[in-house]
């Protein structure tokens, strides 16, 4: 009970801190703009967020955070034991090439179990924010079950791409939903490139203030009713998503060229290959959407 309460408190604090810290330099997408109207309830997106959070809170977080608390309080023995148990979970259910290539451990099932595990609460929250921001509209355009299949397929493509492009055996486990979410983000870019995304961006919010003030003083009618200070702003989806893709592609190319120096850290190759999985999105959208899309009509 105490462990669950600690995880809940950490989650709330982590949500606020993650949005703030991640957004000081690079914008964090929070949602579609308020003008978007969904035809369906985003049940699968909410379910995926719930499952990811539950897996982390019940299965992983107790060992991880109680281990850290025990170590910080001086109980090195208990802390080390719990952190070891956390490590065993990651090495058992995260994706490792040896599971597939040599048919050991849980085998190919690790492709799926790894999608629902996260390294820490910051990793979890960052992924869930992106899934909430981009997933609902893609689900609306696909329908719930085709959307779920596309999500899982994107995660598979991300992991297979990471496996293939590292070129040499790598037994370090990979975990996280970011490969699957990258596929959702890529699909959003294809389907809604001109859509506006509501973002929080520390530098952008501060820089906006003098620009709006100058334009107001200059008498520009378009900004006369605009508020001087806003906590969020709207960004075209294509700008954010292409910038995100570039920021993941460049380190991916370096990682492919020097795989021995890529152990641990952010798996940008999985992000890149998962994003490219979005090229298959038209196999999952509704038929009427395909017709409207290629006729140049609004979705």
Looking up residue 259, the CATH number of its domain turns out to be: 1.20.1540.10
Question: Per-residue pLDDT tens for 8-52?
Answer: 676 677 667 766 777 777 788 888 876 666 778 899 999 999 999
Contacts of residue 131, Cβ cutoff 8 Å, sequence gap at least 6: 45, 48, 49, 177, 181, 184
- Cα gap 232→197, rounded to integer Å: 10
Q: H helices within the chain, ranges in order?
A: 2-22, 43-54, 61-72, 76-93, 97-101, 110-113, 121-142, 144-165, 178-191, 202-217, 237-257, 268-276, 287-294
- The rounded mean pLDDT for the chain is 82
- Cα gap 8→2, rounded to integer Å: 10
Contacts of residue 267, Cβ cutoff 8 Å, sequence gap at least 6: 162, 174, 176, 178, 179
Residue 88: give the domain boundaries.
Answer: 2-18+30-294
Residue 25 lies in a domain: no
pLDDT band at 155 (very low <50, low <70, confident <90, very high): very high
Q: Is the pLDDT of residue 144 over 80?
A: yes
Asked if 178 and 273 count as a contact pair (C-beta separation under 8 A), the reply is: no
Question: Per-residue pLDDT tens for 219-272?
Answer: 777 666 667 777 778 889 999 999 999 989 888 887 777 655 555 567 888 899
Q: Is the pLDDT of residue 214 over 70?
A: yes
Please give the model's pTM, rounded to 2 decimal places: 0.85
Residue 299 lies in a domain: no
pLDDT at 177: 93
- Cα gap 178→182, rounded to integer Å: 6
Residue 24 lies in a domain: no
Residue 52 lies in a domain: yes
pLDDT at 1: 52
Asked if 269 and 253 count as a contact pair (C-beta separation under 8 A), the reply is: no
Q: How many domains does the chain have?
A: 1
pLDDT at 43: 93
Residue 6 lies in a domain: yes
pLDDT at 45: 96
**Who has greater pLDDT, 13 or 191?**
191
pLDDT at 252: 82
pLDDT at 14: 66
Residue 23 lies in a domain: no
Residue 88 lies in a domain: yes
- Cα gap 240→122, rounded to integer Å: 21
Tell me which residue of 142, 141, 140, 134 sits closest to 183, measured CA to CA. Answer: 134
């Amino acid at each position: 009970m105490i462990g669950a309460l600690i995880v809940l408190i950490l989650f709330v604090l982590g949500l606020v801190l993650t949005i703030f810290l991640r957004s000081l330099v690079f914008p964090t997408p929070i949602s579609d703009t308020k003008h978007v109207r969904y035809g369906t309830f985003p049940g699968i997106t909410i379910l995926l967020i719930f499952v990811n959070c539950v897996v982390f809170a019940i299965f992983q977080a107790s060992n991880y955070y109680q281990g850290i608390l025990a170590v910080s309080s001086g109980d090195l023995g208990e802390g080390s034991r719990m952190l070891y148990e956390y490590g065993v979970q990651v090495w058992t259910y995260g994706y490792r090439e040896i599971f597939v290539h040599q048919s050991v451990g849980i085998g190919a099932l690790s492709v799926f179990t790894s999608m629902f595990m996260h390294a820490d609460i910051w990793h979890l929250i960052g992924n869930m924010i992106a899934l909430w921001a981009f997933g609902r509209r893609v689900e609306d355009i696909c329908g719930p079950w085709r959307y779920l299949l596309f999500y899982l397929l994107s995660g598979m493509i991300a992991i297979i791409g990471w496996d293939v492009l590292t070129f040499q055996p790598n037994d370090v486990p990979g975990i996280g939903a970011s490969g699957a979410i990258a596929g959702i983000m890529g699909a959003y870019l294809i389907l809604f490139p001109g859509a506006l995304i509501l973002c929080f961006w520390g530098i952008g919010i501060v820089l906006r203030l003098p620009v709006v003030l100058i334009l107001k003083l200059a008498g520009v009618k378009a900004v006369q009713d605009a508020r001087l200070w806003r906590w969020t702003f709207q960004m075209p989806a294509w700008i954010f998503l292409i910038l995100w893709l570039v920021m993941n592609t460049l380190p991916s190319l370096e990682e492919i060229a020097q795989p021995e120096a890529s152990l641990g850290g952010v798996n940008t190759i999985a992000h890149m290959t998962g994003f490219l999985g979005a090229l298959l999105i038209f196999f999952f959208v509704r038929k009427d959407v395909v017709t409207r899309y290629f006729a140049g009509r609004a979705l």
